[in-house]
Chain A
Amino acid sequence: MPLVELRGVSKRFGKVVASSGIDLRIEDGEYVTILGPSGCGKTTLIRMIAGILEPSEGQVLIGGRDMKGIPIEERDIGYVFQNIALFPHLNVLENVSYGPVVKDVSDEERQAVPKRYLELVNLLDRMRMFPSALSGGEQQKVALARALASGARLLLLDEPLSALDARVRMDLRYELRRITKDLGLTVLHVTHDQEEAMTVSDRIVLMRSGRIVETNTPEMMYRAPKELFTANFIGETNLLDGVVVASEDDRTVVEVRDGSKVEAQPSRFEPGDAVVISVRPERVHAEEKGLRAIVRSISFMGTYIRITAEADSEDIMGFDVRVPRGRDFNVGDNVHLGWSKQSALVFPRPPGGIAEAVKLE
């Protein structure tokens, strides 16, 4: 039932356009993440679905029904806020019971439902405590239980984990997905954390400056981004300016700024086209020959070592090496960098330059 559909939705605050021309369809039971840098309009979008904001243009449909003029409380949604917003004057059980109480359900349900969801988030033993006595992670779990107990089939999560410690954030991430999948809920999760989006979602909607840049599964977004912005925002990547010198069936040959030639995936570009190559740090290796570079910094990352080098083409290249091998590198060393042609993607060079195209604002 809770199929969410946005048709040409726009929102303006005075002259500021928070979102424009958004078309989006979310299937029943799907876990979709709206990902984007701060200020890209993702919260505005979710608030329009919730009914807290009315779109300036376009339609919001939930379960096939146009939501225009339908107040928040009749949309049957669960909304979890970044700032948690547990009612401070009510204890945990009373907080979770709020939905059933205001909906005036039968006595048995009002007794049973809140406890069932508190059980689900493993906080039944805290039900007599007040929110201020709980940790941040526990508070957010109570907020989740409260949203679920209202009986909503559509859950809107607005940066639900951002206010929490890194460790708690990681644990809660998996729990969120497990619980909502068990209950078969449709989830729309807003976040600016690409790692969070990758780990929880069935599908990611990437937004920038009020528009949708790209929509796809996390894996496809990472492995085959259609836009330069996506390649840069999801995961990390190295971007190199260049000009196509040969476009063959099995590869594209690109000349970078220092005149050296590198290989990339086959593409539709013609020789002479200005392009940008994107290659992930974990795909770049130090080899016998290739792009010449000087090691500038070395960072220990745990399972690998990240080395940053400045290429003769003036591009900054990051690459990862396994920990024992990392000892072989020193700052100031000359290295040659190479990669398999399949791991390098080719994008048209944006008219405003790379920096403009991947800028977060």
Chain B
Amino acid sequence: MTGAILCFARSLSETGGTIIALATLYGRRMVEGDFQTGPTLIGLWKDASVTDPSLVPALSFVSILLIILALVLLLLLKLVIIKVRLPMRKVWPTPEKLLSRGLFPKLKDSSAVLFLLLIVLVPSFFIFTYVLTGSPAQADWGPFVDALVISFVVASAVTLIDLVTGIPLALYIAKNRSGRLSQMLDVLVNVPLIVPTAALGFSLGLFWSNIDPNASAPILLIILAHIAFTYPLVVRNVVGAVEGVDPAFEETARTLGARPLQSFRRVLFPMIKGSILAGAIMAFTRSLGETGATLAVVANANTAPVYIVDLVNEQSYYLAAMACIILIIISYVFMLLLRRFTREEVV
């Protein structure tokens, strides 16, 4: 169920992927009147609002609409789960027996694998064929390397801040389960996960540009924006891990003479290390890949994914493809790390 919610929220909020896919389809930069999703519209209008300030209210409206929609859907989903009571209690012996035997399980497994290959993996890696067969264009790697460096600086800063501030909050939530404040925080911390990042980014952009109207440090704005939607990832992971640890471990440590800090350092931390790392890697990659929120905060931002979107819009497919491959490789390496750390924790 959590998976479904995450899927839905992610799809609702994705900007970069949608822009690129659509731009490639149309073969040109997108303009008003093309097929639009909520977040791409926000991106487009945000661009336009630089020259035409009258668009700002409309932009706010779409953003607010998306935020409200997301919250309402989340609530509905929760209600449905409570009402329908999945898994359903009723059983159908004959059809279920039939479906559990013979060809059906094999069919189920093979169709699942086929789906993964055809819809998820092949299109994701199709880009490699483009690089191999396409004609090498005049490549100027400078901007991409710059963009990549900025992306890494942003992602690292974001992850670091998430960890330093997220772990204490997670500990508070996990250890005061019965407290009303903790329950409220637990729900609130999820909100940025559900709200579309473009809408969120726009809201954040408005907020921060009020404080810093000249956008004197755009990179700082990007970092602040990214923290908003990666922070929950760290908190979620750590809360889950801390709740999974029997409080008896820390209590034992205390009776053995450990100060609370010592018992965290030497008992709890080693036990949840894997989840902390997993959360950090998720936050890092999420920040590295985010387009919508970045654009919504700083229209002329130059992080790696934004750069790729620009390349596609300018039809420099070869360069875009190469850049994508590099990003894919980086993401893949992080995925491997994630798997290693999460597995270590199980042992």
Interface residues of chain A, those whose CB is within 8 Å of chain B, are: 50, 52, 71-73, 75, 77-79, 81, 83, 85, 87-89, 98-99, 102-103, 146-147, 150, 152, 156
Chain B residues whose CB sits within 8 angstroms of the CB of A83 once the complex forms: 246, 248
Q: Does B3 contact A (CB under 8 A)?
A: no
Query: How many positions in chain B have a CB within 8 Å of any CB in the partner chain?
Result: 17
Q: Does B259 contact A (CB under 8 A)?
A: yes
Q: Does B252 contact A (CB under 8 A)?
A: yes
Distance of A72 Cα from B254 Cα, bound (Å): 6
Distance of A150 Cα from B256 Cα, bound (Å): 6
* CB–CB A102/B262 < 8 A: yes
Chain A residues whose CB sits within 8 angstroms of the CB of B254 once the complex forms: 52, 71-73
Top 7 nearest A-B pairs by Cβ distance?
A: A79-B255, A72-B254, A99-B256, A85-B248, A102-B258, A103-B257, A150-B256
Contacts A/B (CB < 8 Å), 16 sampled: A52-B251, A72-B255, A73-B255, A73-B257, A73-B258, A77-B255, A81-B251, A85-B246, A85-B249, A85-B251, A89-B270, A98-B256, A98-B266, A99-B256, A99-B257, A152-B255
* CB–CB B252/A85 < 8 A: yes
Main secondary structure of the interface of B (DSSP, over half): helix
* CB–CB A81/B248 < 8 A: yes
Among A78, A87, A88, A89, contact of B255 (Cβ-Cβ < 8 Å)? A78
Q: B252's closest neighbor in chain A, by CB?
A: A85
Q: What is the CB-to-nearest-CB distance from A100 to chain B, in angstroms, rounded to a whole number?
A: 9
Q: Evaluate whether A87 and B267 lie within 8 angstroms (CB atoms) in the complex, with A73-B258, A78-B255, A103-B257 already known.
A: yes
Q: Evaluate whether A72 and B271 lie within 8 angstroms (CB atoms) in the complex, with A85-B246, A102-B266 already known.
A: no
Residue from the set B254, B258, B259 with the largest chain A CB neighbour count within 10 Å? B254
Q: B262's closest neighbor in chain A, by CB?
A: A102
Q: What is the CB-to-nearest-CB distance from A67 to chain B, in angstroms, rounded to a whole number?
A: 13
Q: Does B327 contact A (CB under 8 A)?
A: no
Task: Digitize B254-280: 1 where CB-to-A-CB distance is under 8 Å, 0 elsewhere.
Answer: 111111001000110011000000000
Chain A residues whose CB sits within 8 angstroms of the CB of B258 once the complex forms: 73, 98, 102
Chain B residues whose CB sits within 8 angstroms of the CB of A87 once the complex forms: 249, 252-253, 267, 271
Distance of A295 Cα from B303 Cα, bound (Å): 88
Chain B residues whose CB sits within 8 angstroms of the CB of A103 once the complex forms: 257
Chain A residues whose CB sits within 8 angstroms of the CB of B251 once the complex forms: 50, 52, 72, 79, 81, 85
Chain B residues whose CB sits within 8 angstroms of the CB of A147 once the complex forms: 255-256
Q: What is the CB-to-nearest-CB distance from B260 to chain A, in angstroms, rounded to a whole number?
A: 8
Chain B residues whose CB sits within 8 angstroms of the CB of A71 once the complex forms: 254
Distance of A150 Cα from B246 Cα, bound (Å): 21
Chain B residues whose CB sits within 8 angstroms of the CB of A102 once the complex forms: 253, 256-259, 262, 266
* CB–CB A50/B267 < 8 A: no
Distance of A151 Cα from B248 Cα, bound (Å): 20
Chain A residues whose CB sits within 8 angstroms of the CB of B266 once the complex forms: 98, 102
Q: What is the CB-to-nearest-CB distance from B261 to chain A, in angstroms, rounded to a whole number?
A: 10
Among B256, B259, B267, B270, contact of A146 (Cβ-Cβ < 8 Å)? B256
Among B246, B248, B253, B271, contact of A98 (Cβ-Cβ < 8 Å)? B253
Task: Digitize B227-259: 1 where CB-to-A-CB distance is under 8 Å, 0 elsewhere.
Answer: 000000000000000000010110111111111
Chain B residues whose CB sits within 8 angstroms of the CB of A152 once the complex forms: 255
Distance of A83 Cα from B249 Cα, bound (Å): 10
20 further interface pairs, Cβ-Cβ under 8 Å (given A52-B254, A85-B251, A150-B257): A50-B255, A72-B251, A72-B255, A73-B258, A75-B255, A77-B255, A79-B255, A81-B252, A85-B248, A87-B271, A88-B271, A89-B271, A98-B258, A99-B256, A99-B257, A102-B256, A147-B256, A150-B255, A150-B256, A156-B255
